Structure 1
Amino acid sequence: MITSSWLLVAFPALGALILLVGGRRTNAWGHLLGCATVIASFVYALAMFFASSFDQATDTTLYSWIPVEALQVDFGLRVDPLSMTFVLLITGVGSLIHIYSIGYMSDDEGRRRFFGYLNLFVASMLVLVLGNSFVTLYLGWEGVGLASYLLIGWYQDRPSAATAAKKAFLMNRVGDVGLAIAIFLMWKHIGSTGYAEVFAGIGDQSPAVITAIALLLLLGACGKSGQFPLQAWLPDAMEGPTPVSALIHAATMVTAGVYLIARAAPIYNLTPTGQLVVTIVGAFTLLLGAIIGCAYDDIKKVLAYSTVSQIGYMMLAVGLGPFGYALAITHLLTHGFFKAGLFLGAGSVMHGMNDEVDMRKFGGLYKKMPITFATFGLGYLAIIGFPFLSGFYSKDAIIEAAFGQEGWRGWVFGGAALLGAGITGFYMTRLVLLTFFGKQRWKEIRSTDGREFHPHESPPVMTGPMIVLAIGSVAAGFLFTQGDMLIEWLAPSVGALQESEHGVLPHALVPILTVGLSALGALIAWLLFGRRDTSVERPREVSAVVKAARNDLYGNAVNENLVARPGVWITRFSVYLDNRGVDGAVNGMAALLGGTSGRLRRMQTGFVRSYALSMLGGSFLLVVALLMVRFA
Structure 2
Amino acid sequence: MMGELLFLIPLLPLCGALIVMFAGGLLSRRVLAGVAITSVAASAAVTLWLWPLAVNSTRVSLFTWLEAGALRVPVEILFSPLSAAMALMVTSVSALIHLYAACYLHHEPDTRRFFALFNLFVFAMLVIVLADNLLLLFLGWEGVGFCSYALIGFWYRNPEFAAAGRKAFLVTRAADVLFGIALLWLFRLTGTLSMEAINSQAASMSPNTVTLIALLLLAGACGKSAQLPFSSWLPDAMAGPTPVSALIHAATMVTAGVYLLCRLFPLIALSPTALAVIGLVGTASAFYGAICALVQRDIKRVLAYSTISQVGYMFVAVGAGTVTGAMFHLLTHAFFKALLFMVAGVVIHLAAGEQDLFRLGQLSRRAPLLFWLLLAGALALAGVPLTSGFFSKDTILAACFARHTPWWTLLGVVGLITALLTAMYALRLVYLLAADRAAAAGRGPTPRSMAWPMLPLAVMALVGGQLNLPELWKGRTILQGWLQTASGMPVSHGLEWSLAAVTLLLVVAAWLGVRRHYRLAPAPSDRAGVRFLAAGWQLDAVIRRGLTAPFEKTGYLLQRTVERLLTTVLPAGLGRLCQATGQYLRSITSGYVSHYLAAMAWGTVLLLAMLLLVLW
Q: Normalising to structure 1: TM-score of the pair?
A: 0.90
Q: 1:343 to 1:611 in 2, by over 3 A?
A: closer
**Distance in structure 2 (CA, Å) of the matches to 1:47 and 1:23:** 30
Matches within 5 A, 1:91-110: 91-110=91-110
| 1:433 to 1:586, Cα distance in 2 relative to 1, 3 A | same
Please tell me the residue identity of whatever aligns with 1:550. A
Q: Map 1:254-293; keep pairs closer than 5 Å.
A: 254-293=254-293
Tell me which amino acid in the other structure corresponds to 1:40. A
| SS of the residue 2:253 aligns to | coil
Q: Per-residue displacement from partner, 1:135-194 (whole Å, max 9, x unpaired)?
A: 010111111111111111111232221011011011110111111111111111111111
Kept in 2, the 8 Å contact 1:251–1:336? The answer is: yes
Deviating more after overlay: 112-121 vs 369-378: 112-121
Measured in 1, the distance between the counterparts of 2:158 and 2:295 equals 24
Instruction: Supply the AA of the counterpart residue of 1:463.
Output: A
User: Counterparts of 2:288 and 2:479 in 1: how far apart (Å)?
Assistant: 29
Q: TM-score, normalised by structure 2?
A: 0.92
Match of 2:4 in 1: 3
Which amino acid is the alignment partner of residue 501 of structure 2? Answer: I
Shift of 1:577: 4.4
Query: Unaligned stretches of 5+ in structure 2?
Result: 470-474, 601-616
Which residue does 1:424 correspond to in 2?
A: 422
2:34 maps to a residue whose letter is L
Cα separation, 1, equivalents of 2:426 and 2:443: 22
1:366 partner SS: helix
Q: Find out whether 1:26 has 2:27 as its counterpart.
A: yes
- Structure 2 distance, partners of 1:53, 1:209, is 35
- What is the alpha-carbon distance in structure 2 between the residues aligned to residue 304 and residue 115 of structure 1? 23
Is 1:498 aligned to residue 497 of structure 2?
no
Q: What is the identity, as a one-letter code, of the residue corresponding to 1:74?
A: P
Give the structure 2 partner of residue 385 of structure 1: 383
Of residues 37, 40, 49 in structure 2, which corresponds to 1:38?
Answer: 40
User: Offset of 1:598 from its aligned partner?
Assistant: 3.2
User: Does structure 2 conserve the Cα–Cα contact (< 8 Å) formed by 1:371 and 1:457?
Assistant: no
The Cα shift of 1:195 comes to: 1.3
Partner of 1:216: 216
Residues in 1 aligned to 2:178 and 2:249: alpha-carbon distance in whole angstroms:
22
Q: 1:191 to 1:593 in 2, by over 3 A?
A: farther
Tell me the distance in 1 between the aligned counterparts of 2:24 and 2:590: 71
Query: 1:463-509 deviations in whole A, cap 9, x for unaligned?
Result: 11111110001111123333111012111xxx342324699x94432
2:334 is aligned with 1:336? yes
2:554 to 563, 570, 586: 570
Question: Which residue pairs with 2:169 in the alignment?
Answer: 169
Unaligned regions of 5+ residues in structure 1, if any? 443-452, 616-632
Please say if residues 242 and 344 of structure 1, whose CA atoms lie closer than 8 Å, have aligned partners that are also in contact: yes
User: Is the 1:334–1:473 contact (alpha carbons within 8 Å) kept by the matching residues of 2?
Assistant: yes
CA drift at 1:43: 0.7
Higher relative contact order (CA 8 A, sep 6+): 1
Q: 2:437 aligns with which of 423, 436, 439?
A: 439
1:595 matched residue in structure 2: 580
- Give yes or no for contact 1:286–1:308 (8 Å, CA) kept in 2: yes
The aligned counterpart of 2:466 is: 478
Is the contact made by 1:313 and 1:395 (CA closer than 8 Å) also made in structure 2?
A: yes
2:49 is aligned with 1:47:
yes
Please tell me the residue identity of whatever aligns with 1:558.
V
Aligned residue number for residue 608 of structure 2: none
Alignment match, 2:409: 411
Aligned partners of 1:30, 1:319: CA distance in 2, in Å? 43
Give the secondary-structure state (helix, strand or coil) at the position aligned to 2:74. Answer: strand
Question: How far did residue 68 of structure 1 move?
Answer: 2.4
Instruction: Report the RMSD for the aligned CA atoms in angstroms.
Output: 2.3
Residue aligning to 2:250: 250
Whether the aligned pair in 2 keeps the contact of 1:250 and 1:336 (CA below 8 Å) is: yes
User: Counterpart of 2:119?
Assistant: 119
Mapped contact 1:424–1:518 kept (Cα < 8 A):
no
Whether the 8 Å CA contact 1:134–1:195 is kept in 2: the answer is yes
Task: Give me the whole-angstrom Cα distance separating, in 2, the residues matched to 1:587 and 1:209.
Answer: 53
State the distance in 1 between where 2:594 and 2:53 align: 103
Counting aligned pairs with the same residue, the percent is 37
Corresponding pairs, count:
593
Question: Following TM superposition, by how much is the alpha carbon of 1:355 offset from its aligned partner in structure 2, in angstroms?
Answer: 1.6
Matched position secondary structure for 1:61:
strand
What amino acid sits opposite 2:327 in the alignment? I
Deviations 1:532-555 (A, max 9, x none): 5733xx543x1x321210221011
CA distance in 2 between partners of 1:457 and 1:68 (Å): 61
Question: For residues 328 and 415 of structure 2, what CA distance do their matches in structure 1 show?
Answer: 16
Comparing 298-307 with 603-612, greater Cα deviation is found at 603-612
SS in 2 for 1:508: helix
Match of 2:449 among 433, 450, 461: 461
**CA deviation map 1:304-331 (0-9, x unaligned):** 100000000001111122xx21101000
The equivalent residue for 1:449 is none
Q: Does 1:346 align with 2:339?
A: no
Between 143-152 and 201-210, report the one with greater CA deviation.
201-210
Q: Does 1:515 align with 2:504?
A: yes
Deviation of 1:567 (Å) = 1.7
2:403, 2:489 within 8 Å by CA — same for their partners in 1? no
Q: Contact conserved, 2:152 with 2:240, CA < 8 A, in 1?
A: yes
Q: Secondary structure at the match of 1:296?
A: coil
**Structure 2: how far apart are the matches of 1:382 and 1:456?**
28
Are 2:481 and 1:488 equivalent residues in the alignment? yes
**Equivalent residues of 2:225, 2:258 under 8 A apart:** yes
Q: Which amino acid aligns with 1:424?
A: T
- Over 3 Å counting, the alpha-carbon distance change for 1:73 and 1:403 in structure 2 is same
Distance 2:352 2:153 in 1: 20
The answer (yes or no) to whether the contact 2:385–2:500 under 8 Å persists in 1 is: no
Q: Partner amino acid for 1:528?
A: H
Q: Displacement, 1:568?
A: 1.1
SS at match of 1:76: strand
